[in-house]
Amino acid sequence: MNLLQKYNVAAPRYTSYPAVPLWDEESFGGADWKASLQKSFAELNPESGISLYLHLPFCESLCTYCGCNKHITVNHGHEEPYIHTLLQEWGMYLQLFEERPRLREVHLGGGTPTFFSPENLHGLLTRLFSGCEILPDASFSFEGHPNNTTREHMQVLYDLGFRRMSLGIQDFDPVVQKVIHRIQPVETVARVVKEAREIGYTSINFDLIYGLPLQTPRSIHDTISKVVRLLPERISFYSYAHVPWIPGNGQRSFSEKDLPQDDEKQALYELGRSLLQEHAYQEIGMDHFALPDDELSIARKEGRLHRNFMGYTTTHTELLIGLGVSAIGDHRDAYVQNEKNLAAYQERVREGRFPVSKGHLLSREDLLLRRHIQALMCHFSTRWKRQDVNCDAVVDGLQRLQELERDGLVRVEPAGITVTAQGRPFIRNICMAFDARLWKKKPGTRIFSSSI
């Protein structure tokens, strides 16, 4: 059995530890969470600020590769009521805080944020910002669909401080685009990029996916050849996550037989990675690439790279508040997720209640393991403090690493561990060794996509 077959198992992506499906919901209480949130806010360094994630869930059509929480509709009458609900939810957070929050980072995700009209986005953000102080070096970004991201969208957001945008490309092959229901010619993407540059955006990210149905080495080669001519500063090159058991996604519209398997899928990644590196893109953590002068590359070199529910970031705030349906917040020693159902989310907020549906209060062991998993995901290494090796979960993790070390994926050292070049594609498996909550999970229901 080769390494790909051996380690191609279901594994978290580790945008958090513990991963969301492994949260201890039974011990989570609303009163404890609010007290934890208020304490985290009160103890913030005044210069550190907070991050905001706004989930804007609406899409006009269903992309069949997508496993995200979204609401498919062509009725734009949903925009204003949803904005009203978001602002009500934000108002409840403001009432918990004793002073005006300082914004360090804002990200608009979805769904399709550019489903909303420029006017409505302007109204939402100006009202939201009115209750805050925006730090001078704040970082604002948004996700856009090339087919509906207009120059007016980009100008309105630029005028409000946005300098980064991310476009979902996935693949330029017409055959692949048809099966994933994401038709967007390269000319459309080029138009958006050109206009963004003219307006003044300084960082553009392209999302690409390998392992999509009917994808071939030729489609990867042609897609990346087109991508590098447009020269985005960042490229996210994700493994397709096949999770057809999640309600509401469209991944049952094609067969598993249409998907590249094991060695084929890994070959697509290796081809894409080599092509990106040939064009000066540097590998950043897992699935991410950036040009050498991009802030993400600089943060990696300086050891400042961070990972959270929004992916890799140069900004590390101790408090991330998620607003909107299904949005997730990270409050230093607690996680929360909002209601996933749109109607239930809006009803809770109308009643004046936080729309939190579940959460997790991190234990001392969770915090320790999170630090090591975060370091592995960002820096491909982690170092021990003296007391770490007295933790049973760390000792158990080191035991599990023995086989990965024999396979040449990691080097276990007296003061920590380092992931080898051969081990980088298996970083999720390496982090799993320290995932105490995953190893305690009862076998049965599958909750994660494959690691390769």
Residue 328 annotated in ligand binding: yes
Nearest to 281 by CA among 323, 230, 334: 230
**H or E stretch covering 102:** strand 102-110
Dihedral sign from CA coordinates of 353, 359, 362, 367 = negative
Residue 11 annotated in ligand binding: no
Residue 422 annotated in ligand binding: no
Q: Give residue for tokens 């000319």.
A: 187
C-alpha to C-alpha distance for 350 and 346, rounded to whole angstroms: 6
Residue 431 annotated in ligand binding: no
Residue 95 annotated in ligand binding: no
Residue 359 annotated in ligand binding: no
Residue 7 annotated in ligand binding: no
Residue 190 annotated in ligand binding: no
CB 241 within 8 A of CB 67: yes
The pair of structure tokens assigned to 227 is 């991508």
Residue 375 annotated in ligand binding: no
Residue 66 annotated in ligand binding: yes
3-state secondary structure of 54: strand
- In the chain, the amino acid numbered 424 is R
Residue 281 annotated in ligand binding: no
Measure the CA angle with vertex 103, ends 101 and 108; round to 5°: 125
Residue 207 annotated in ligand binding: yes
Residue 285 annotated in ligand binding: no
Helices (H), 160-294: 174-180, 186-199, 217-230, 262-278
C-alpha to C-alpha distance for 108 and 310, rounded to whole angstroms: 10
CB 438 within 8 A of CB 400: no
Residue 89 annotated in ligand binding: no
What lies within 8 Å, CB to CB, of 341 at 6+ separation is 325
Annotated binding site: 53, 59, 63, 65-67, 110-112, 143, 170, 182, 207, 241, 328
Annotated binding site for [4Fe-4S] cluster: 59, 63, 66
Annotated binding site for S-adenosyl-L-methionine: 53, 65-67, 110-112, 143, 170, 182, 207, 241, 328
